[in-house]
Structure 1
Amino acid sequence: MTTESNRRRFLRNVTLGSVAVGGVLPLAACGSDDDTPAPEAPKVSYQHGVASGDPQSDRVILWTRVTPAADGEVPVSWEVASDAQFATIVKSGSTTTNAARDYTVKVDVTGLAAATRYHYRFAVGAQRSPAGSTKTLPTGNVDTVRLAVFSCSNYPAGYFNVYADAALRNDLDASVHLGDYIYEYGVGGYASDTAATLGRLSVPPTETIQLADYRRRYAQYRTDADLQALHAAMPMIAVWDDHEIANDTWKNGAENHTEGTEGKFADRRAAAIQAYHEWMPTRLPDAARPEKIYRSFDFGNLLSLHMLDTRNIGRDQQVDVTAYLQGLAHDPARQLLGAEQNTWLATQLQTSKGQWQVLGQQVLMSRMSIPASVAQDPGVATMTAYLTALQTPAGARTPEQAALVAQPKIPYNLDAWDGYPAARDAVLAAVKANDRNLVVLAGDTHNAWASDLTDSTGQVVGVEFATSSVSSPGFEVYLPTVPPAQLGGAFPMLIDDLVYADTSRRGYLVLKATAQEVRADFVFVNTIASHTYQAVVGQSLRTLPGAGNRKVVPVA
């Protein structure tokens, strides 16, 4: 599929328009006898589009942001219609916003019909927002669910063609964002070599630390036409990863935070979480605890999506390779989810009616251990030597080859579940105990993966489909001397549970669930350096329900 510039211009015109044509939303009750003229509405624009999120069968969050000409309280009306022309209004209301919430507007619209597409918009006086489309979740028997899965959208790294491509589809029920929706770095930081050329230098130019910094960073991202188009096209179910706060966040700190010099981490995290909930169409499970984001979404009796937090609420600090080799990662007390979230998830797995149990979370759960020699020197020669030794019959191996095959394997990424093996075993044990069909979604690595999920005994418990990134670079940047096709082909031979890898292309995952299978289509774009791009399905894989079938298999 090729997306040309005129198609892109259409998206921009739809999503970036600040005032739409047509009638005006009412701000006062009809039939009033009061002849007093209504106060003039503040002058505003809608520079950040509209969004919807956290759909349930009877409700959905609606979002926008107004940019006022002058500070002050801004009255905002909203309406929901069953048609794109807004001829049949099914819900309407009004609210206010101000600088305390960064002029964002969030409305939890209730009393909606299940499995229904709605259209919505906002207005301040005669100044109307662009319109958006959303959809409630189904109940009862459901034939098909389709989700678009995203991760790792770094504004200065390139254009959001991945978002643009998904926004053009008309077959999706919702989008799922697994985190790194923004990045915290300043100008000249991570993956920003071409930012000036592309006109995508970070705002603010410094690293985000204070509340105002995070608000400005979200505001920049939300001016992107492709992200606006995605949000306007469908509801989003989102969770944070680390870069919404700082790189390699854990419950009491982060790799990219210097306590004291950059203030208290607790203050930084609170600021980041406040900005996140202001700018994202999320529904707080507990208004008194904004750091609690894990929650579930039931698509009838077909699929239950459980969104997890592997970053902020329960994660113990990461270990390095030395500590791992000393066995410290295997401490049974080490937590990734935390005790409270673990208990909640176990209950969800036990009581959920969905045929498919899908975990939407950030980091790879599969076992991604690679030979120590490759971990130390991930070059073509080292990988070739190991794979040659592996493919040589045992009786014909040289002593050097025998040593290569016998060497230990170590996880390539200890920030993932590999750094918390006891925590992973606890989740997989709960899945086994309830005999559930498990599909895990992951992001974080900027590469695409598909793996079988095995427990500590080697039994396959479920599958993991990990999406590539929207724009952040993958192994093609970190291992530039290894041809991507060669690296992608080598990884499944190096890693026991890995079935598929793509280490060089930006893209997203389309998950299609039916009673017969869950299918993963890995969609890739050929560039993020130009607004003109091509999108292709690079690989399709699936898993089947029932004991003995819960593994990654080719599409029939």
Structure 2
Amino acid sequence: MSKPVDPTDLARRPLHNLITDSQRDDASKPTVNRRRFIHGLGASAAALSLAACGGDDNPLWQGGPDSGDVTFTHGIASGDPLQERVMLWTRVVPASRQASVKVMWRVATDANMSTIVNQGEATTSAANDHTLKVDVDKLSPNTVYYYQFESAGVKSRIGRTKTLPTGDVSKVKLAVFSCANYPAGYFHAYADAAKRQDIDVYVHLGDYIYEYGRTVLVTTDIGLSEETAYASANAKALGREVEPATEITTISNYRRRYNQYRSDPNLQDLHANAPMISVWDDHEFCNDAYRDGGENHQPDKEGSWEDRKLAAMTAYHEWLPTRNSVINNITRSFDFGNLLSLHMMDTRIIGRDQPLDYGNYVAADGSFKGLAFFGDLIKKDRGLLGINQQNWLATQLQKSTATWQVLGQQILMGKMWIPSPLLLNFNDPNSGVPVPTYFEIVAKQQAAPESLTDTEKYILEQPAIPYNLDAWDGYSAARDNLLSLAKTNNANLVVLAGDTHNAWANDLQDSKGDAVGVEFATSSVSSPGFEEYLSDIPPAQFAAALPGLVQGGTLKYANTNERGYMLITLTPSECQSEWVFVSDILKPTYSAQVGKTLRVKVGENKITEVGI
């Protein structure tokens, strides 16, 4: 339905007037687009103070009833497991807010905490928001352990964790999450995964929190208007309005937001059940963040980007069970014996250049500056990983002897080019062609091509362009370099992705069309998918049509309206992905089911149905 892009052809075609008068009424309906929001005009740009006490001005300080001198109101967690060690986490809230708190930690081989294998004492204080992380060593590989904290006679709940295996490994199971938006609805995906006892490690691909406030200013025909913030329409009714009420930009406010998220019982249950390996994405900082700024950061109103970035990184490492020696470095690898090497990457902050914006390539007459756009798109110096991270990944791929090389990273890597009239309409309802209209034209072409009007023929002739310039599609040279690394090292490459709020499965091909690997992308925990922006088309119909709309035939699966998580099961012969979806994030009860199962066999680098 779409032909390869001819930049010269695209440059001379006006793309702003592809809708006939009879179609204009439906096309002009307003749609939700988070990129139209004007973020943070009322946000404070208070001076950053990393040593400031996070609780002094925090109405969530207690977080629950006080059962003594201290409380463990935010549960416990473990993360970054290795073969002989694991990180343990908790937050100890002192009733008197004293400067420091002593905490005992214990690790046992049984759930009753009777067989202690390691223990010790640590101290936390207001300097790190009374969070506590302990790197526990002297453990055995591939072993389930239980742990607990105690302070001033008060004990935390008991957590369960597991170390990584060594040698020959027959199976590893990962649960993969992304995009948990507190005001959007309940974290049922976390609750469902927490019930499972067969998961070795949780992998969180970012957007663990969101930075938005309760309201935003939007541009209208009559000026600026305050409206409910992104994904917050039901927040008040659900009792899930964000704290603080404004967009977060300072260390104290990032801490308050983590405080609220980590008070969620479903998230606490998840962390108590298995270790987590995580990376950040943009919303731990701000929307569409990159190395030198973000779409949702205004320096004149919100202060220095470097200060905000440092505040966000500090709070992230305080509240997540990461093992970090350098605060701005989130890249690290985890080896599961000879079966799997999991490489956690940063496609967001370390090396990313500012994303391209289609709005910068539209001429005054509405035509698209195709030559300029594609010239910028393919520039070899447009960075996404940065040279240090790219060299690190090359070394990891070269030295690993594991069967599977899995990349835990944030953004969609598959080539997702769709007909330009659709993309233009996504960005501006008064441009391009709305999805239902485009589908009608395609159906007409298939049933009675001789009846197509000149305008309809013109619409079908339009080339495909990348749907998401914030993804790897906006950094084609960086993607080519990474896929070349995988191909050179003969890797069985599996890429995990999040960020889009929709579920995807892609075959990954290099610039020559050679199969290099596959991509499994998880839906969101609660953030809305395409169903919010394309409410006038049945989601099942849209998802079913997408593989035919995407250029190249590499998209193998899409689900654009259900929330959930992925189960990734790896064996010496195959890697299987199950997309688990929950029924309703706006109700306190839910059901869950596997919506799709796909796999890649070792050595094939292409997605197949299970049973084929």
2:419 aligns to what? 371
1:61-100 correspondence runs (5 A): 61-71=87-97, 72-100=99-127
1:145 aligns to what? 172
User: Please, what TM-score do these two structures have when normalized by structure 2?
Assistant: 0.82
Q: Root-mean-square deviation (CA), in Å?
A: 1.9
- For structure 2, the residue ranges without an aligned partner over 5 or more in a row are 1-62, 216-228, 362-368, 427-433
1:38-57 correspondence runs (5 A): 43-57=69-83
The CA deviation at 1:18 is: 8.1
1:384 aligns to what? 439
Please tell me whether the aligned partners of residues 70 and 152 of structure 2 are also in contact (alpha carbons under 8 angstroms): no
The CA deviation at 1:468 is: 0.3
1:388/1:455 CA distance change after superposition, 3 Å: farther
Q: What is the identity, as a one-letter code, of the residue corresponding to 1:157?
A: A
Q: What is the identity, as a one-letter code, of the residue corresponding to 1:350?
A: Q
Distance in 1 between the 2:466 and 2:181 partners? Answer: 26
SS in 1 for 2:189: helix
2:509 aligns to what? 454
SS in 1 for 2:605: coil
Please tell me whether the aligned partners of residues 389 and 402 of structure 1 are also in contact (alpha carbons under 8 angstroms): no
1:392/1:552 CA distance change after superposition, 3 Å: farther
> What do the CA deviations read for 1:190-230 (whole angstroms, capped 9, x no partner)?
11111110000100111111000000000000000000000
- For structure 1, the residue ranges without an aligned partner over 5 or more in a row are 1-14, 20-41
Equivalent of 1:110 in 131, 134, 137: 137
2:27 aligns to what? none
Please tell me whether the aligned partners of residues 83 and 140 of structure 2 are also in contact (alpha carbons under 8 angstroms): yes
Equivalent of 1:503 in 560, 568, 584: 560
Distance in 2 between the 1:92 and 1:181 partners? Answer: 30
Equivalent of 1:229 in 261, 269, 289: 269
* Matching of residue 313 in structure 1 with residue 350 in structure 2: yes
> What do the CA deviations read for 1:270-299 (whole angstroms, capped 9, x no partner)?
000000000000001xx2x31111000111
1:353 aligns to what? 401
Distance in 1 between the 2:100 and 2:260 partners? Answer: 23
Distance in 2 between the 1:251 and 1:503 partners? Answer: 29
1:462/1:405 CA distance change after superposition, 3 Å: farther
* Matching of residue 494 in structure 1 with residue 531 in structure 2: no
Distance in 1 between the 2:339 and 2:449 partners? Answer: 47
The CA deviation at 1:397 is: 7.8
1:181 aligns to what? 208
Please tell me whether the aligned partners of residues 160 and 274 of structure 2 are also in contact (alpha carbons under 8 angstroms): yes
The one of the two structures with greater contact order (alpha-carbon pairs below 8 A, sep at least 6) is 2
Moved more, 489-498 or 246-255: 489-498
SS in 2 for 1:318: coil
Q: What is the identity, as a one-letter code, of the residue corresponding to 1:63?
A: W
1:438-453 correspondence runs (5 A): 438-453=493-508
Distance in 2 between the 1:525 and 1:173 partners? Answer: 21
Moved more, 247-256 or 321-330: 321-330
Equivalent of 1:303 in 332, 336, 340: 340
* Matching of residue 294 in structure 1 with residue 351 in structure 2: no
Please tell me whether the aligned partners of residues 50 and 65 of structure 1 are also in contact (alpha carbons under 8 angstroms): yes
Distance in 2 between the 1:103 and 1:394 partners? Answer: 68
SS in 2 for 1:476: helix
Distance in 2 between the 1:478 and 1:385 partners? Answer: 19
Distance in 2 between the 1:390 and 1:542 partners? Answer: 34
1:58 aligns to what? 84
Equivalent of 2:521 in 466, 469, 472: 466
Distance in 1 between the 2:64 and 2:541 partners? Answer: 42
Distance in 1 between the 2:398 and 2:529 partners? Answer: 37
The CA deviation at 1:383 is: 3.1
Aligned length: 515
SS in 1 for 2:206: coil
Q: What is the identity, as a one-letter code, of the residue corresponding to 1:197?
A: A
Distance in 2 between the 1:145 and 1:434 partners? Answer: 22
Please tell me whether the aligned partners of residues 66 and 95 of structure 2 are also in contact (alpha carbons under 8 angstroms): no
Distance in 1 between the 2:401 and 2:461 partners? Answer: 45
Q: What is the identity, as a one-letter code, of the residue corresponding to 2:152?
A: G
User: Please, what TM-score do these two structures have when normalized by structure 1?
Assistant: 0.90
1:304/1:391 CA distance change after superposition, 3 Å: farther
2:21 aligns to what? none
Distance in 1 between the 2:453 and 2:249 partners? Answer: 55
Moved more, 99-108 or 487-496: 487-496
The CA deviation at 1:393 is: 10
> What do the CA deviations read for 1:292-340 (whole angstroms, capped 9, x no partner)?
1100011111011100000110000000124583221211001100010
Please tell me whether the aligned partners of residues 64 and 106 of structure 1 are also in contact (alpha carbons under 8 angstroms): yes
Equivalent of 1:275 in 304, 310, 315: 315
The CA deviation at 1:126 is: 1.2
Q: What is the identity, as a one-letter code, of the residue corresponding to 1:313?
A: I
1:144-163 correspondence runs (5 A): 144-163=171-190
Distance in 2 between the 1:236 and 1:193 partners? Answer: 30
Please tell me whether the aligned partners of residues 119 and 132 of structure 1 are also in contact (alpha carbons under 8 angstroms): yes
Distance in 2 between the 1:154 and 1:394 partners? Answer: 45
SS in 2 for 1:75: strand
> What do the CA deviations read for 1:94-124 (whole angstroms, capped 9, x no partner)?
0100000100010000111000000000000
Q: What is the identity, as a one-letter code, of the residue corresponding to 2:330?
A: I
* Matching of residue 333 in structure 1 with residue 370 in structure 2: no
1:519/1:158 CA distance change after superposition, 3 Å: same
Distance in 2 between the 1:127 and 1:79 partners? Answer: 14
Q: What is the identity, as a one-letter code, of the residue corresponding to 1:302?
A: L
* Matching of residue 421 in structure 1 with residue 476 in structure 2: yes
The CA deviation at 1:377 is: 3.0
2:253 aligns to what? 213
Equivalent of 2:300 in 241, 254, 260: 260
